[in-house]
Structure 1
Amino acid sequence: MREKKSSSILHSISAWLIMLPGLILFAFFVWEPLLESIRLSLYTAKGIHLMDFVGLKNYIAVLQHPDFLPAIRNTFLYTFWSLIIGFLIPIIMATFITETVHMKSFFRVGVYFPNIMPGLATVMMWGYLFRPGKTGVFNILLSALGIQPFDWLASPAWTIPLIVLTMTWKSAGSTALIYMAGMGSINPELYEAATIDGATPWKRFLHISLPSIFGLGKTLLILQIISVFQILYEPLVMTNGGPNNASISVMQLVFRYAFEDYNYPMAASLSVIISIILVLLTAVYFKATKGKKPEYSTN
């Protein structure tokens, strides 16, 4: 009995020793900055040096700032459009490539290729495509068709969807590969049986592929929401938050507080507010989807 207990203790110690480097790195790079941000948000500061304790005054100033509500609204619009465009496209790409018989490796490399480009280079490239007047690539194509040039990023209704399209072009390929890996673990006999029964590609996706990637999709969905809430350089470079704050994001507002106004306590306060929003959204999402999973069917 003692030997069994000693063995269990040694096993626990070994497990903790294995996790210790990761826990130290996690505490240093995640928890310490988070706690320091909370602390900074409760003080006034001169540069990065804390001055006077002011409690929730910085939070009140952030909530009352005229750019706060537009930034929150736009960030939720970014999230909405990313779910409409950016969440569905990788699933569609993964399904088509999985159903492809020839040149699968070629298509896998092709869809992943945009992901290896630096993010800033991608944004600048799409900025040239959307450039107003007769010098933008898309406007050149429209002119060739006899259509008047369009001021793409100057329209508040178009700005956010076009920025989301830019983000999707860059990142959809890597997400599609993750879905393809999930679909690759499906027993091929299920597809063969469905094909013999006369199931169309749409029915094979709906009743076989979709249930197999449901859990993966739940995780990637919340990760995408978290990622979209941190959107910064796309609106910063392409529109600088314009026109008239139509594309400003909460992270761009944090950037303005920290690196334009040098008001680090307000930047920290807004960062804490963003963290609270994301925690609440994550909790509500997993509560709402808990235990829900499609079942396999070939009918």
Structure 2
Amino acid sequence: MAGRNKYRANNKTVTGIKRKDAVGWLIMLPTIILFAFFVWEPLLESIRLSLYTAKGIRLERFVGFENYIRVLKHPDFLAAFSNTFTYIFWSLAIGFFIPMILAVLITETTHFKSFFRVGIYFPNIMPGLATVLMWGFFFRPGSTGVLNIILGKIGIEPQVWLTNAKWTIPLIVIIMTWKGAGSTALIYMAGISNINPELYEAATIDGAGILSRIRYIILPGIFSLAKTLLILQIISVFQIIYEPLVMTNGGPNNASISIMHLVYNYAFRDFNYPMAAALSVMMGIVLIILSGLYFKITASKEA
């Protein structure tokens, strides 16, 4: 009798769990359908398109990996590939440390912390295209550029700025950093706020200055967070497109073209959708690898 009651109780528990699962799946079903329609279906269609020749978007003949080979042999691919890694280098040299420095400075500030937080986050509120157009006027070559007008007041000749191949990518990265550093700095500030206050108290008792607190308390406390944000930044920079597209159109002489910009050129300038799909698939594989690395770092941090 006791065994029968136990069986009934277990059966009710299993039935309850199944009902909860069914309700959860019903709640998620619209999202899953939309995700499959707007993400997985275009992704699978891009893979299929990359294996065919096409007239417009109408598939014609199966060619296997021929489109991938054509992409790799295209004269613009090497420039876009190397430029993308140049973007990553400068984004790490400039954009990776600035949010960290801002977060530390604001954390160590005694007064007007809220004002500084709003101030550094304000550029994130602006639409991305408006930001690019604004900085385009700022770096415009000749005597009409804002920066050249300012420099002219102190006797410096107008510079070409974005039309100088050596300066194009670093200047674009500076614009990207100005736009996104504030939000990243807020994440670092949240990480710093989670550091045990007793460590600061012990450091104060020992007479540690601000540099010692930064070196021995703050930096070790946000090290795991910095590793995660590093991978996310690399993934983001791999997908850069509208900054070089709007400001320089990939120039001068392909000095600022990125891989995603090259995808745009294949699709909307040359109307070669199979090659655009092939390069998109190649980029997708790289981003999947980077995302897997991100999840591995995140999992090790949680463990």
* TM-score, normalisation: structure 1: 0.90
Compared CA separation, residues 27 and 219, structure 1 to 2 (3 A): farther
Amino acid of the structure 2 residue aligned with 1:238: M
Q: Post-superposition shift, 1:204?
A: 2.0
Aligned counterpart in structure 2 of residue 28 of structure 1, from 33, 37, 40: 37
CA distance in 1, matches of 2:285, 2:215: 35
Amino acid of the structure 2 residue aligned with 1:70: A
Amino acid of the structure 2 residue aligned with 1:269: A
1:267 counterpart residue number: 276
Aligned counterpart in structure 1 of residue 236 of structure 2, from 201, 205, 227: 227
1:68 counterpart residue number: 77
The more displaced of 267-276 and 146-155 is: 146-155
- Determine if contact 2:83/2:258 at 8 Å carries over to the other structure: yes
Q: Deviations 1:8-34 (Å, cap 9, x if unpaired)? A: 444444444444444333323322221
Amino acid of the structure 1 residue aligned with 2:119: G
The more displaced of 213-222 and 72-81 is: 213-222
CA distance in 2, matches of 1:182, 1:89: 16
Q: CA RMSD in A?
A: 2.2
Determine helix, strand or coil for the equivalent of 2:119: helix
2:218 matched to 1:209?
yes
2:176 counterpart residue number: 167
Determine helix, strand or coil for the equivalent of 2:75: coil
CA distance in 2, matches of 1:287, 1:163: 31
Amino acid of the structure 1 residue aligned with 2:143: K
Q: Post-superposition shift, 1:155?
A: 1.8
CA distance in 2, matches of 1:24, 1:222: 29
1:151 counterpart residue number: 160
- Determine if contact 2:228/2:298 at 8 Å carries over to the other structure: no
Specify every segment of 5 or more residues in structure 1 that has no aligned partner in the other structure, as ranges.
294-299
1:80 counterpart residue number: 89
Aligned counterpart in structure 1 of residue 64 of structure 2, from 55, 58, 61: 55
Q: Post-superposition shift, 1:292?
A: 7.6
Q: How many residues align?
A: 293
Determine helix, strand or coil for the equivalent of 1:83: helix
The more displaced of 182-191 and 87-96 is: 182-191
Compared CA separation, residues 27 and 211, structure 1 to 2 (3 A): farther
Q: Deviations 1:241-289 (Å, cap 9, x if unpaired)? A: 1111110001111111111111111111110111112223444577689
Compared CA separation, residues 230 and 50, structure 1 to 2 (3 A): same
Compared CA separation, residues 204 and 19, structure 1 to 2 (3 A): farther
Whichever of the two has the greater Rg, that structure is 2
Q: Post-superposition shift, 1:129?
A: 1.3
Compared CA separation, residues 13 and 285, structure 1 to 2 (3 A): closer
Aligned counterpart in structure 2 of residue 129 of structure 1, from 131, 138, 141: 138
2:122 counterpart residue number: 113
CA distance in 2, matches of 1:79, 1:220: 13
Compared CA separation, residues 79 and 8, structure 1 to 2 (3 A): same
Determine helix, strand or coil for the equivalent of 1:148: coil
CA distance in 1, matches of 2:118, 2:25: 39
Specify every segment of 5 or more residues in structure 2 that has no aligned partner in the other structure, as ranges.
1-9
Q: Post-superposition shift, 1:168?
A: 0.7
Q: Post-superposition shift, 1:290?
A: 7.8
Q: Post-superposition shift, 1:151?
A: 1.3
Matching of residues 234-249 of structure 1 within 5 Å:
234-249=243-258
2:147 counterpart residue number: 138
Determine helix, strand or coil for the equivalent of 2:190: helix
CA distance in 1, matches of 2:33, 2:218: 39
CA distance in 1, matches of 2:216, 2:25: 42
* TM-score, normalisation: structure 2: 0.88
Determine helix, strand or coil for the equivalent of 1:67: helix
CA distance in 2, matches of 1:18, 1:219: 31
Compared CA separation, residues 221 and 16, structure 1 to 2 (3 A): farther
CA distance in 2, matches of 1:269, 1:48: 14
2:4 counterpart residue number: none
Q: Deviations 1:39-63 (Å, cap 9, x if unpaired)? A: 1111112222222211111111111
